[in-house]
Structure 1
């Protein structure tokens, strides 16, 4: 079993800032929240080496040069470049010895952060060039100010700022092509096939055979351009069909489940509840008007 490990040289100037935050239990279950935040003007020899920390880290370069080693690759960081990583993975970041690194940073977490991080990883690099760098820097500065003087509104306001920050990172990481303005014809065809054949048994092997493509390449490219695995996309189509039937017909739930391609009604109910937050019957009751 791996254990948390950190080794660092805290070589930063006296005007640097480091805040440690103790989020409430409510914030941990309901919001995005700050664990630590700061602003560093580094001195020669600064570095941090870490792994197995259940926290996410955002670092934004103001000036100078930094270096990040993550998942076996080394990246250079210049002005307005930033990284977003999960600290369970091994990471090593340091300043250039002559072009000293100046950066803002935040350790953050939250119940929904894994979804943002998975979407961010579609870009296949932890480093991005920020499209709105001043907005991001301002957001980090606001987070610092907010946690210097804690009040009852600090945590919800902090969560809002972190949502804005994460959205900026997704926007910077995914250009119009990867965000969906351009989708290869093969991926479009697979999406259309799943939309029209959602009520049939469909496997990754079957899709690979139909479209003459390696199933491993298919799975990777499909998620890159849709944000979902083929199976998740298929389930989404089935749930969408079921929602429409629940809203506008009086068919029994078991019949709707079978027509949607999920003949096991118990499995259908569990899937529906996971994705919609209610049972199919409760969903129908909320949407159908009384006669």
Structure 2
């Protein structure tokens, strides 16, 4: 379908807007900026569009905005952030008496779409951050990117791509509360990880972990996923496959012996599991290594 847009550009004179026309090389290599800016937009500012190949992030700094996206309405106050796929219909506008002040950026290319999918895995385009604008990494990254565009040189696209990647990562980190320190990880999660690291040769189930750590298995699954990055059984499988790769490459053990070594007595299942995780069979991995 064709791109279309309606808009009212009611923003203050001190608002900033930079439009980029990336080279073919930039589009093939990098995450890149299409447009970026810092707006103070007063009523009746709005934008309504669809079918734009772009991903848009807005961080509300003050005032209030309204977003309609995928049939849902969202009120955007200070600290609210949205990140959307502009192929879908969207309508956003100022609804406060004071200007809606925001950082915003349209990005595309690289692995932007994959990071957007990770951001959007809960289906919610909006989240709230309690950090004040001057303390928020997202705000600082947008401001840095704006400044970089005004002093563009042969290195700018390289640096901007890295900053965009950092920005998109930060959206995911803040949305899913992954901005914790090592000291925030519960002690039992560290002990559980150490247990799995030491016993990956064994057959271990969530019921086993529930019995060993005297906690509900669903809570264990949730906490381990939050702090380690994947559920405990997935982590265990990853450890098994990684050890199998080491044995395939650096020993003469048969594939059956390796399967038994990592606690899998069904050789066909081991081969399917290994291929699912690596994209190749154990025998092909050994041959290529």
TM-score, normalised with respect to structure 2: 0.68
Secondary structure at the residue paired with 1:41? strand
8 Å contact 2:64–2:75 — kept in the other structure?
Answer: no
Q: Structure 1's 173 and 58: CA in aligned 2 closer, same or farther, altered over 3 A? A: same
Q: What value does the CA root-mean-square deviation take over the aligned residues? A: 4.6
Deviation at 1:132, TM superposition (A): 6.3
- Residue 16 of structure 1 is matched in structure 2 by 15
| Structure 2: runs of 5 or more not aligned | 187-191, 207-221
Rounded Cα–Cα distance in structure 1 between residues aligned with 2:112 and 2:201? 29
| Separation in 2, partners of 1:222, 1:52 | 39
Instruction: List per-residue Cα deviations over 1:90-148 (Å, max 9, x = no partner).
Output: 22110015122011211112322234223323454523225363232222121112122
In structure 1, stretches of 5+ residues that fail to align are 184-188, 201-206, 208-219, 285-291
Residue 107 of structure 2 corresponds to residue 108 of structure 1: yes
Matches within 5 A, 1:184-203: none
Aligned runs of 1:1-291 on 2, under 5 Å? 2-71=1-70, 72-78=72-78, 80-122=79-121, 124-129=124-129, 131=131, 133-134=133-134, 135-175=137-177, 236=238, 239-251=241-253, 263=268, 272-273=278-279, 281-282=287-288, 284=289
**1:152 alignment partner, SS class:** coil
Aligned to 2:48, what secondary structure does the other structure show? strand
Superposed displacement of residue 248, structure 1: 4.2
Aligned residue for 1:287?
none
Name the structure 1 match of 2:214. Answer: none
Residue aligned with 2:92, SS: strand
Q: Report how far residue 48 of structure 1 moved.
A: 0.9
- Report the CA distance between 1:18 and its aligned residue: 1.9
What's the TM-score, normalizing by structure 1?
A: 0.67
1:251: Cα distance to partner?
3.9
> Residue 211 of structure 1 corresponds to which residue in structure 2?
none
1:200-232 CA-to-partner distances (Å, cap 9, x unmatched) read 9xxxxxx9xxxxxxxxxxxx9998898669998
> 2:83 is paired with a residue of what secondary structure?
strand
Deviates more, 1:123-132 or 1:14-23: 123-132
